[in-house]
Amino acid sequence: MAKAIIKTSFEFPGQKNLYVGKVRDVYNIDDKYLIMVVTDRISAFDVVLPEGIPYKGQVLNQIASKFLDATADIVPNWKISTPDPMVTAGYRADPFMVEMVIRGYLTGHAWREYKAGKRSICGVTLPEGMKEHQKFPEPIITPTTKAMEGHDEDISREEILELGLVPEPDYIQLEKYTMDLFKRGTEMAAEKGLILVDTKYEFGKRDGKIYLIDEIHTPDSSRYFYSDGYEERLAADEPQKQLSKEFVREWLIENKFQGKSGQRVPAMTKQVVTDISERYIELYEKITGEAFKPAGEDNVPPRIERNVLDFLSGL
């Protein structure tokens, strides 16, 4: 198993600053371009876990790249190139301070809220009598705040407009883009025998125009079920067979961790790390229909630096 890349510290020509997110290291080049290195860090419950997951960065980056290309006719996106298996390079945009979460099924966070008795999420009223993993009559948009640190928080459309987080004309456009992207992602997943359960999109503005930014339809931002057997498992109240990061959350919950104060992340054994890595590779192969080809295992940082420098020299 390759060594996980959990930190980068490059100095690129024109570099203004480096933003270190939960998973991504984002290099600002001349306030015009971004070099996004998708590391092998993994987060859950808004906490970065102590061990990296080999190949996770490559999986996320290559899935996102494919879906950015496959949805560029719906909304312009920030991507220019993928100069390295773990890197996407693109235009810098000013991000909206909300994330557009869309849900087709009552699963995960929405189910946990529903099970606790809530019948409204982000201002959206939910039907009574629903079961876990049941499909909503229509997809629902449940935005969250975009926290720079700590937990993202649910927020309603009305609150977003009242607080002025997004101008109303822009927010209406974000809702349309979100619905259209989810429809495309649902169709593409169905072709591979999968159900796109829920996902999130991030948007920004550049030169007065809205762009789709960051990742799209990856296992870190999305949840997938296998179509085969979905109805049978739902009728029998059985867990769905899924490909997403939810299995990591479930493992943490089983080990008494949900990111709450005073809780400690359970020990991540080599076997746990290997299992998570294999699940990410499985999702890549399932959703793309292609065999996963691990990038060179040795000297990954020099490879990334060389490929990025080649890209920058061509701008």
Range(s) of the chain covered by CATH 3.30.200.20: 15-92+268-304+308-312
For 15-92+268-304+308-312, which CATH superfamily applies?
Phosphorylase Kinase; domain 1 (3.30.200.20)
Report the topology of domain 95-244: D-amino Acid Aminotransferase; Chain A, domain 1 (3.30.470)
Residue-level pLDDT, tens digit, the chain, 315 residues: 678 999 999 999 999 999 999 999 999 999 999 999 999 999 988 899 999 999 999 999 999 999 999 999 999 999 999 999 999 999 999 999 999 999 999 998 999 999 999 999 999 999 999 999 999 999 999 999 986 555 679 999 999 999 999 999 999 999 999 999 999 999 999 999 999 999 999 999 999 999 999 999 998 899 999 999 999 999 999 999 887 787 888 899 999 999 899 999 999 999 999 999 998 898 899 999 999 999 866 789 999 999 999 999 999
The answer to whether the beta carbons of residues 35 and 304 sit under 8 Å apart is: no
Q: Cα–Cα distance between 107 and 198 in angstroms, integer? A: 8
DSSP 8-state secondary structure symbol assigned to residue 92: -
Residue 208 identity: G
Q: Cα–Cα distance between 146 and 97 in angstroms, integer? A: 5
Range(s) of the chain covered by CATH 3.30.470.20: 95-244
The answer to whether the beta carbons of residues 57 and 5 sit under 8 Å apart is: yes
